[in-house]
Chain A
Amino acid sequence: DQQVKQNSPSLSVQEGRISILNCDYTNSMFDYFLWYKKYPAEGPTFLISISSIKDKNEDGRFTVFLNKSAKHLSLHIVPSQPGDSAVYFCAASDNSGGSNYKLTFGKGTLLTVNP
């Protein structure tokens, strides 16, 4: 039972345009969401996060939107750059029962930004 779903295995965009990566979740207890970026032969690196009390969080070119009623979040990258080409993972955690230590990841979306 996959609790975090990234239904698009890949996405290709032109440099300078917007990249939108989507993530759906099934566990309504998730209250913290994160995006990670991963280059080949490297470990995932943290990109941006959002808690369930917010619907938007922005950091430079990266914005994460959260729609709790739809159990959906998205990562917007504007403008996209060739260096953004990587696999992006969505992750979530449930902190309702006190300290929760587990992050549940989606399968990832490969973003390719073409020059």
Chain B
Amino acid sequence: NAGVTQTPKFQVLKTGQSMTLQCAQDMNHNSMYWYRQDPGMGLRLIYYSASEGTTDKGEVPNGYNVSRLNKREFSLRLESAAPSQTSVYFCAMKEGGGFTEAFFGQGTRLTVV
């Protein structure tokens, strides 16, 4: 998964705490994404950024906010964590729209107790 770096790799939060998941890419791709993976649910899109300065909601945006800080970085923030947000979070990047594949980071395993 070279090219997309996620931090932290693991995190345990208490209900109501806040945190920011960081993602950085070094392939100069325009588009970046946040997905969550839950057992039996596949990969669900939370938010995405088609290009620097733009962000859009995906399939499951409630409870999250994002910031496209610059072309390299796309962060995901949980303002008040809930147990339902326990999941594995993946950041991805893609060279624009169209017929291209996305490259994923290694993931952040988040547990909210």
Contacts and interface: CB of A to CB of B under 8 A. Distances in A.
Interface of A: 6, 9, 32, 34, 36, 41-46, 49, 51, 89, 91, 95, 98-108
**Chain B interface residue bracket vs A:** 20 to 34
19 contacts: A41-B106, A43-B92, A43-B107, A44-B43, A44-B90, A45-B1, A45-B104, A89-B43, A99-B50, A99-B97, A100-B98, A101-B31, A101-B50, A102-B48, A102-B58, A105-B42, A105-B43, A107-B40, A108-B43
A102 B58 CA distance: 8
Contacts of A108: 42-43
Interface in B21-42: 31, 33, 35, 40-42
A56 B102 CA distance: 21
Interface of B: 1, 4, 31, 33, 35, 40-45, 48, 50, 56, 58, 90, 92, 94, 96-99, 101-107
A46 B44 contact: no
A18 to B, nearest CB: 24
Nearest to A2: B42
A51 B97 CA distance: 14
Given A43-B107, A49-B101, A99-B50, 20 more contacts: A6-B42, A9-B40, A34-B101, A42-B1, A42-B106, A42-B107, A43-B1, A43-B92, A43-B104, A44-B90, A44-B104, A45-B1, A46-B102, A89-B42, A101-B48, A101-B96, A102-B45, A102-B48, A107-B40, A108-B43
Q: Which 10 A-B pairs have the closest CB atoms?
A: A99-B97, A43-B104, A107-B42, A105-B43, A46-B101, A43-B1, A101-B50, A101-B97, A105-B42, A44-B104
A99 B96 contact: yes
A91 B100 CA distance: 12
A102 B40 CA distance: 21
Contacts of B103: 46
A95 B43 contact: no
